[in-house]
Structure 1
Amino acid sequence: MEFDLSWVLLGLPLAFGLGWMASRFDLRQIRMENRQAPKAYFKGLNFLLNEQQDQAIDAFIEAVQNDPDTSELHFALGNLFRRRGEYERAVRVHEHLLSRGDLSQADRNRAQHALALDFLKAGLLDHAETALLKLEGTSFEAQARLALLANYERSRDWALAAEVAEKLDRADQGSFAPRLAHYLCEQAALLIAQNQWPEAASLLRQATEKSPESARARLDLAKLQDKMGQVNEAWQTLHEALDHTPAAIGLMAQPLADLALRCGRAQETLQLLQTRYASHPGLDLLDAVVTLSNAQSDGELSARDWYARHLEKVPSLVAATKWIAGEKLEHEQFHPQVQRALDHAAKPLLRYRCAACGFEAMQHFWQCPGCQAWDSYPPLRVEEL
């Protein structure tokens, strides 16, 4: 059979034409998709800037559908879901990213961190812990450890929180010694509740070594020593605390005065507190001085005299209320009503206030019940702030 070369010559132009048409179709399709993806992306960005999150999510979903391999759009979409509280959808987006085999290691770590944040926001602490632990040795390690610290605080796992705080402290991520002292105090409190006093005392001593300026560690240790019948040791602990944490003298003054009365060191302690009061007058310190002064048979000043002297230094409604309690008024029959009104007015001034969120309480807290910040309560009453 003879091969007709003319068919080849006729077929070549036809094949070329068909190939050209196919390439033009593919290029047109690619250009169309490329136009659609940026358009949807910028539309979503515009909605986001105008705080129209519902429309922004719809636009980003459209962009992801047009270009499913774009990781940045997935991250934007996942973050939007998390901000809106749609944690399940955020988790699905970030888990989808992690399942992709073509994702770079940097983006994989980023997706892992985003997934951990999703779990934290959703309150799934166990899942969050697992996700955060996978970030050890990555560029997100420091952020993951801080999140783990918050996670363990929320679950009140103080032993694991202490481990993470020590790692952060060794990694020069700031000083976590004060926070570590609190964790040790929390562990000691649990042991005290179980009557394991020697073990608790050991943890509290560790806390004072880790953070010598921790007022809580020394106060808790003194209370425990007092509970164990070691009154002199408790007094000595608080006496030393005055030098290490002078700013917290208001919290320590009254316990120190009570211990001094029971261990026969009232006169010595009175002189010590009077000296401190002369340079830094405070309401709680004043009450401790009054307690010790009243216990002395030869006290130079009465309680009312001390409150009057305080009023000369500081205009204080609290001190005035206590002073007038022992005063004989001209119309004595109205004294109870006047006293009750003054006590009512002074009561809010005796509260402590969180410097971080403003939460007020009659009790001093080491960790604010409102914002969970540590050491945010100054050891001063509201009237003294």
Structure 2
Amino acid sequence: MDFDFQWLLLGLPVAFALGWLASRIDVRQLRTQQQSAPKAYFKGLNFLLNEQQDKAIDAFIAAVQHDPDTTELHFALGNLFRRRGEYERAVRVHQHLLGRADLPRAERERAQHALAQDFLKAGLFDRAEAAYRELLDTPFRVEALLALLTLYERSRDWRAAIDAATDLETAGAGSFSQRVAHYWCELAQEAEARGETPAAEEALERARAAAPRAPRPVVMRGQRLARAGRHDEAMRTWAALIPVDPVSFSLVAREYAASAVEAGQQAAARETLRPLYERTPSIDLLQALRQLEPQAVTRRGWLSEHLAQQPSLSAALGLLDESASESGTLSDAELQGLRQVLGNAAKPLQRYRCAACGFEAQHYFWQCPGCQSWDSYPPRRIEDL
């Protein structure tokens, strides 16, 4: 049977028309998908800006379904899940990203960082540590080390914390010497609790080497000496704080006075503490001076002066104790100081507090100025509750 070329001439235009129609349908569908994905994306952003997180998540999920290869949408969705506390869903989103073989290295590292944050927020500290460790050779190294440092502090793994802080200093993230000193002090306390005196001493030396001006190693070393009955050495150790950090010396002022009494050096201790108190007066220094002063009249005079300069409840209580021990009446100046102290202490307690939001006010309100609630103020002042 002979082939009729007439049918070929008729079929070519038909085939061309069908191909053109199919291509137009594919292009139109592609354009529809490309238009719907950005629309859903911007819709999600709008919901997010209006703090409508539920609707924002729905919009982002729709956008991801239209364009599953868009990593930015996955990151946005995962971050939204994490902010809402839906950590399991956030983990799934970021693990899905990591499972993609075509993901660029930079995006993979970003997804790993987001996954580590998910684990940390979820309280899965072991998995968070492992995830952050995988970031140590990436541009997220500093962020990973900071997160690891926080994890080690929470778990009280002080040696690992020292290593992380040292690595951070090497990476140029700032000085961590004060923190390292604290970590060594924590190790010293642990060794002391186990009865390992040499290890505790070595840890304190490491702390002082890490931060020579840090007060905590000096405070702890003096306390160890005092517990061992070596009060002269304890006093000399604590006295080294005065020229370096006189404010921190107040933390051990009473212990310093107690050691001075045990060592029979009350007069020398008074000569050390009195100028320091005049420069930086504090109730701790005043109480230490009271421990060292045998004359009740002198102690009472110091308390009265302190009340006039810095009204405090502790000084007022001390003055009442001194007057009671002497069985004497208070002078007008002492009474005035007591009135001022008690008045200042009573003011915060003379307010009304809203039961709904905690807003405090000197006057009673029927409608709270803070939360606008009605009848939320109990008709009793704070000191009566």
TM-score bracket, normalised by the shorter chain, equals 0.7 to 0.9
Query: Matches of 2:57 and 2:245 in 1, distance apart?
Result: 53
* Residue aligning to 1:32: 32
- Which stretch shifts more, 117-126 or 13-22? 13-22
- Calculate the aligned-residue CA RMSD, in Å: 2.5
Task: Give the corresponding residue for 1:307.
Answer: 303
Contact 1:45 1:56 (8 Å CA) reproduced: yes
* Counterpart-to-counterpart distance in 2, 1:229 and 1:288: 19
Note the alpha carbon deviations across 1:242-283, whole angstroms, 9 max, x for none.
222222121021121122222343322211111111111111
Rounded to whole Å, the distance in 2 between the matches of 1:243 and 1:8 is 106
The answer on whether the counterparts of 1:197 and 1:224 sit within 8 Å (CA) in structure 2 is no
Please tell me whether the aligned partners of residues 293 and 301 of structure 1 are also in contact (alpha carbons under 8 angstroms): no
Equivalent pair of 1:212/1:244 in contact (CA under 8 Å): no
Deviation at 1:34, TM superposition (A): 0.9
- Counterpart contact for 1:251–1:284, Cα < 8 Å: yes
| Contact kept? 1:318, 1:346, Cα under 8 Å | no
Give 1:109 shift. Answer: 1.1
Instruction: Give the SS at the match of 2:167.
Output: helix
For 2:184, the equivalent position in structure 1 comes to: 184
The answer as to 2:318 corresponding to 1:316 is: no
Q: Deviation at 1:127?
A: 0.3
CA distance in 1, matches of 2:103, 2:244: 53
| Unmatched runs of 5 consecutive residues or more in structure 1 | 332-338, 350-385
Q: Secondary structure at the match of 2:240?
A: helix
Q: What percentage of aligned pairs have identical amino acids?
A: 49
Cα deviation, residue 230, structure 1: 3.4
Instruction: Report deviation, 1:43.
Output: 1.3
How far 1:300 moved relative to its partner? 9.4
1:352 is matched with none
Contact 2:296–2:322 (8 Å) recurs in 1: no
Segment of structure 1 superposing worse, 89-98 or 216-225: 216-225
Residues of 2 paired with 1:329 and 1:256: CA distance? 30
Q: Tell me the equivalent position of 2:65.
A: 65
Q: Deviations over 1:307-352 (max 9, x none)?
A: 1222343233331221122224669xxxxxxx9xx99x979x9xxx
Q: Give the secondary structure class of the aligned counterpart of 2:75.
A: helix
SS at match of 1:137: coil
Name the residue aligned to 1:149: 149
Structure 1 runs of 4+ aligned residues shifted over 6 Å read none
Q: Which residue identity does 1:173 align to in structure 2?
A: A
Q: Which amino acid aligns with 2:309?
A: K
Question: Could you tell me whether the CA contact under 8 Å between 1:205 and 1:221 is conserved in 2?
Answer: no
- SS of the residue aligned with 1:173? coil
Q: Which runs of 5+ in 2 are unaligned?
A: 331-337, 349-385
Q: Which residue of 1 aligns with 2:369?
A: none
TM-score (ref. length: structure 2): 0.81
Match of 2:159 in 1: 159
Structure 1 distance, partners of 2:166, 2:22, is 64
Alignment partners' CA distance in 1, 2:194 and 2:311: 46
Alpha-carbon distance, 1:178 to partner: 0.9
| Equivalence for 1:83 | 83
CA distance in 1, matches of 2:183, 2:113: 26
Q: Distance in 2 between matches of 1:330 and 1:239?
A: 38
The match for 1:216 is 216
Q: Contact between 1:36 and 1:63, CA under 8 Å: does it hold in 2?
A: yes
Q: Which moved more, 1:303-312 or 1:87-96?
A: 303-312
